Amino acid sequence: MFRKIAVLLMMVVAFGAGVAVVPSEATARYASIVVDADSGQVLHAVNADTRNYPASLTKMMTLYMLFEQLEKGAMTLDQALPVSKRAAGMPPSKLGLKQGGSIKVEDAILALTTKSANDVAVVVAEALGGSEINFAKLMTERAQEIGMTRSTFRNASGLPNRGQKSTARDMVRLAKALMEDFPQYYHYFSATSFSYQGRSYRNHNRLLKSYNGTDGIKTGYTRASGFNLVSSVQRDGRRVIAVVLGGKTAKSRDLHMVKLLDRGFTKLASMGVKTIPAVPDRNPFQNPAATSIEVAAAEPVPAPLRTRPVKPVAASSQIAAVDSGDLAVEGEEITNDWTVQVGAFSRFKAAHSSARAALETAPGVLAGARLAIEKIQSASAGVLYRSQLTGLYEQQAREACQTLIAADLNCVVVQPMAQGSN
């Protein structure tokens, strides 16, 4: 009895002090989505509608609210915003603003997109909403209006709060809304660094410099959320937006994001998407090397012909309902690279028909699989076409083979190729 009373008293004290009660251990669950920004087609999705902690991705919504006020003329870029005692007392990451001081709106924008400063987020919230609590309500209402139906905000920074949740799909919607509603301000997400009062701050988004065509948009991390990232990349006249939530480390999250983006562009090419030369708007913040456009014409084929192994991505209409809770989350540890081979044939058409038959025989367990035909040169048989279904998790691949063999069809499980350490 006394123990229960003590626990209740501790909870009352915590809430009375304004401390958000959050899990002591990380509760992050992996989620990802890749979308063709032009058509809205989902190229890949895993747990895309699972509600996770957004962490500093929240600041994308804070900036959306600020951009709205700038567009309406209610604020200006050189307007000074006051710093309250509460804002100055925010935990890192922060600029170290002092109570009674101020920061210009444009500096605030850059501090949020690069340094991801929590003190600046509160300054903006109080300037727009009077209080951060009221601003969070306005954020949630506006998010619902732009289609983020599974998002709820409790603060402007993304600091831990049980009630602050969003999804990978909602974050894609937010990224698109920022680009389409405020193209005149979107370039701030491409700033690779920011200087303020004699100090220089580097953008946490390393893909801006390392992945060709990246022009935004935001990273995020708390212990409960894991390492999050929303990326926007423009190549060959096409734009792809991708989200990764629940990464184990910043490095592995970035590696995994690169793989998802590569697969997204590969899938667009395999679908025969026509590409046109892109002429990006002048961006004063972007590294020129990272915005170079490579123009290439993609020729449609009846099915992907592979002369070397690739790691394809499931079409959105065939996403498997696979629980990834027990699967590896990030980078080269991700396990949806397994394949089942259902035959090798001397004719492409026969290989294609074999793969289609396998899909029709086991549509449930093979949901999310992508048909791929691998052309090989055999010393004894000449040219052969391997009939394969790719983009599977290990358990999914093994169960698929069991089902196909039970139906008197050939099937062999093919493991992912080992990756080098370079």
Residues 372-383 have a mean pLDDT of: 73
Residue 378 annotated among the catalytic residues of the structure: no
Task: Judge whether 56 counts as a catalytic residue.
Answer: yes
H-helix or E-strand spanning residue 162: none
Q: What is the mean pLDDT of residues 7-18?
A: 42
Is 131 an annotated catalytic residue?
Answer: no
Q: Is the pLDDT of residue 39 over 60?
A: yes
Report d(CA 270, CA 298) in Å as an integer. Answer: 7
CA 382 – CA 370 distance, rounded (Å): 26
Residue from 108, 22, 85, 44 nearest 337 by CA: 44
Judged against a pLDDT cut of 80, whether residue 349 lies above it is answered with: no
**Beta-bridge mates of residue 333:** none
* Neighbour count for residue 296 (Cβ, 10 Å): 10
More confident residue, 58 or 368: 58
Half-sphere exposure (Cβ direction) of 411: Cα atoms closer than 13 Å: 25
Catalytic site residue from 56, 157, 225, 324: 56
Q: What whole-number distance in Å separates Cα of residue 48 and Cα of residue 222?
A: 19
Helix (H) or strand (E) holding 32: strand 31-36
Res 363: pLDDT: 85
Look at residue 24 and tell me whether its pLDDT is greater than 50.
no
| Burial (CB count <10 Å: 0-12, 13-18, 19+), residue 122 | buried
Does 80 or 281 have the greater pLDDT score?
A: 80
DSSP 267-302: HHHHTT-------PPP-SSS-GGGS-----PPPP-S
Identify the residue whose tokens are 């358990």.
395
pLDDT at 412: 86
Residue 116 has pLDDT above 70, yes or no: yes
* Strand order, beta sheet including 31-36: 42-46, 31-36, 238-247, 226-235, 214-222
pTM: 0.62
Chain-centroid distance, C-alpha 250 = 13
Tokens, residue 87 = 């804002």
CATH class of the 25-290 domain in this structure = alpha beta
How many CB atoms sit inside 10 A of residue 41's CB?
A: 16
Write the single-letter amino acid at 204.
H
pLDDT at 415: 79
Q: Is the predicted pLDDT of residue 301 greater than 60, yes or no?
A: no
Nearest-angstrom CA–CA distance, 66 and 111: 13
* Percent of the chain residues past pLDDT 90, beyond the cut: 55
Domain limits, CATH 3.30.70.1070, in the chain: 305-414
Question: Where is average pLDDT lowest: 3-7, 95-99, 124-128, 353-357?
Answer: 3-7
DSSP 53-106: --GGGHHHHHHHHHHHHHHHTSS-TT-EEE--HHHHTPPSS---PPTT-EEEHH
Residue 124 and residue 17 in contact, taking contact as beta carbons nearer than 8 Å? no
- Among 32, 59, 94, 316, the active-site one is 59
> Which residue in the list 84, 116, 157, 190 is annotated as catalytic?
116
CB neighbours of residue 367 within 10 Å: 18
Answer with the residue of higher pLDDT: 324 or 255: 255
What's the CA gap between 253 and 248, in Å, rounded?
7
What pairing do the DSSP bridges indicate for beta strands 305-306 and 382-392?
Answer: unpaired
Give me the pLDDT at residue 272, please: 66
Q: What pLDDT is attached to residue 350? A: 80
Mean pLDDT of 343-349: 79
**How far is it, in rounded angstroms, from Cα 304 to Cα 307?**
10
Which CATH number is associated with domain 305-414?
A: 3.30.70.1070
Portions of the chain given CATH number 3.40.710.10? 25-290
Other CB atoms within a 10 A radius of the CB of residue 74 amount to 10
> What average pLDDT does range 126-137 have in this prediction?
98
